[in-house]
Amino acid sequence: MSSILKNTKVTLAKRPDGMIAPDNFKVVTEELSDLKEGEVLIQIEVISLDPAIRGWMNAGTTYIKGIEIGAVMRTFSAGKIVASKNADFPEGTYVSGLLGAQEYCVSDGKGLTVIDISKGRASLHLGVLGMPGMTAYFGLLRRGEPKAGNVVFISGAAGVVGSTVGQIAKIKGCTVIGSAGSDAKCNYLKEECGFDFAINYKTESIDEKLKEYAPNGVDVFYDNVGGPTLDDGLLNLAQGARVVICGFISQYNKKEIYGPKNYMKIVSARGVMNGIIVFDYVAEWPQAVEEMSEWLSSGQMKAKEHTVKGLEKFPDTLMMLYTGENFGKLILEI
Ligand SMILES: NC(=O)c1ccc[n+]([C@@H]2O[C@H](COP(=O)([O-])OP(=O)(O)OC[C@H]3O[C@@H](n4cnc5c(N)ncnc54)[C@H](OP(=O)(O)O)[C@@H]3O)[C@@H](O)[C@H]2O)c1
């Protein structure tokens, strides 16, 4: 590797106050120095834009530490090792991990996952075969515990997590209802992903539609949205229902969080409400990737991607997640 190799990266310039804005970010170019013993140089090809990034831009620590001001934006990314001084990761190996929003990443190998691109292109390992797919798999199967014949309701259903949850629930023999923000997304859920029903939450009442589609209630409510959507789902729980709190995208950019009003329904439904953090299942990801790859290659599972090209488009592209402009797993390609 030459010492004049340059790396362009997107850094956190200042913390957002409410909705993220372009001036929260800065694009910086720096020179990379030669690799030390044990290090590898990864040329990043694809960057994953995930809703959680908004939370990571805040100060402090939740399940993970906030990004420092001036540091590269933390993202899952994937690419190819183009130089190596680490025998465990030879040149030419494809890897993914928290490699950041940048062209190149120098890594000591810790936290790198070797990806098998014969099982799917690199971007799929950031989506269905990566962190969001694992969230769907373990969130539904371990926290939602669906049984054949159950009714499963998923909010934020047209995204990578939601559409994967619904497709796994169909494979497990459930009736699946999803909510999403446009007719095109609802049609995709029914026609491509095999959902039984889809609710356009912008033009229809989730509560009314759930009463129509699930007159005996919802056995598994997989919530990606929070706020009033969580309330509508809670009102429609079946006896013994499991509520999986996966995310609350309607609240990420809010200064004041809307808390659930209908939580008393958990009592009368003898239900449980579970949180899921995908990183708790890291040791089991390889087996889940194996199973999901088989579902993908057999055509039992579909994976839709929304790709934007150009690192400099990072701020505008990230914003798409919170306005619903993305349709499929949002990927930034370098
Ligand atoms: N707990 C974990 O370990 C974990 C891990 C990964 C992801 N997650 C969570 O899973 C959820 C889905 O993530 P994803 O990667 O699949 O994202 P995604 O669904 O592909 O993208 C976000 C979608 O959220 C919807 N949305 C945005 N603002 C909304 C609002 N105010 N009300 C209702 N819907 C809104 C938009 O779709 P519409 O057009 O339908 O509005 C948008 O396309 C997120 O909440 C994320 O934080 C949790």
Distance from the CA of 252 to the center of ligand 1, in angstroms?
10
Tell me what the mean pLDDT of segment 145-157 comes to.
98
Predicted local confidence at residue 277, as pLDDT: 96
The number of folded domains in the chain is: 2
Q: Are 101 and 10 in contact (CB under 8 A)?
A: yes
Q: Given a cut of 80, is residue 2 above it in pLDDT?
A: no
Tell me what the mean pLDDT of segment 37-64 comes to.
94
Predicted local confidence at residue 4, as pLDDT: 78
Residues contacting ligand 1 via CB (< 6 Å): 50-52, 132, 135, 156, 158-162, 180-182, 185, 224-225, 246-247, 249-250, 276-278, 321-322, 324, 326
pLDDT by residue (tens digit) across 27-39?
999 999 999 999 9
- Ligand 1, atom 13, residue with closest C-alpha: 161
The preferred substitution site among 167, 243, 249 for testing ligand 1, maximizing ligand atoms within 8 Å of CB, is 249
- Tokens standing for residue 57: 């831009």
pLDDT by residue (tens digit) across 290-305?
999 999 999 999 999 9
Full residue range of the structural domain in which residue 68 is found: 6-127+303-333
Based on the domain organization, do 116 and 252 belong to the same domain?
A: no
Q: Given a cut of 70, is residue 326 above it in pLDDT?
A: yes
Tell me the percentage of the chain whose pLDDT exceeds 90. 95
Tell me what the mean pLDDT of segment 260-288 comes to.
96
Based on the domain organization, do 67 and 157 belong to the same domain?
A: no
Based on the domain organization, do 58 and 195 belong to the same domain?
A: no
Distance from the CA of 176 to the center of ligand 1, in angstroms?
18
**What is the pLDDT confidence band of residue 255, given thresholds at 50, 70 and 90?**
confident
Q: Which atom of ligand 1 is nearest to the CA of 135?
A: 5
**271 burial type by CB count under 10 A (0-12 exposed, 13-18 middle, 19+ buried):** buried
Based on the domain organization, do 136 and 100 belong to the same domain?
A: no
Based on the domain organization, do 72 and 209 belong to the same domain?
A: no
Tell me what the mean pLDDT of segment 43-55 comes to.
97
pLDDT by residue (tens digit) across 72-88?
999 999 999 999 999 99
Distance from the CA of 283 to the center of ligand 1, in angstroms?
25
Question: Looking at the domain assignment, is residue 232 inside a domain?
Answer: yes
Distance from the CA of 159 to the center of ligand 1, in angstroms?
6
Based on the domain organization, do 139 and 265 belong to the same domain?
A: yes
Question: Looking at the domain assignment, is residue 275 inside a domain?
Answer: yes
Based on the domain organization, do 273 and 172 belong to the same domain?
A: yes
Tell me what the mean pLDDT of segment 131-144 comes to.
98
Q: Which atom of ligand 1 is nearest to the CA of 180?
A: 40
CATH number, domain of 94, equals 3.90.180.10
Question: Looking at the domain assignment, is residue 291 inside a domain?
Answer: no
Predicted local confidence at residue 1, as pLDDT: 52
Tell me what the mean pLDDT of segment 123-144 comes to.
98
Q: How far apart are CA 175 and CA 16, in angstroms?
A: 40
CATH number, domain of 244, equals 3.40.50.720
Distance from the CA of 188 to the center of ligand 1, in angstroms?
16
- Ligand 1, atom 6, residue with closest C-alpha: 132
Round the average pLDDT of the chain to a whole number and report it.
96
Based on the domain organization, do 173 and 270 belong to the same domain?
A: yes
Q: Given a cut of 70, is residue 68 above it in pLDDT?
A: yes
Distance from the CA of 40 to the center of ligand 1, in angstroms?
33
Distance from the CA of 245 to the center of ligand 1, in angstroms?
12
Tell me what the mean pLDDT of segment 86-102 comes to.
97
pLDDT by residue (tens digit) across 169-223?
999 999 999 999 999 999 999 999 999 999 999 999 999 999 999 999 999 999 9
Based on the domain organization, do 135 and 270 belong to the same domain?
A: yes
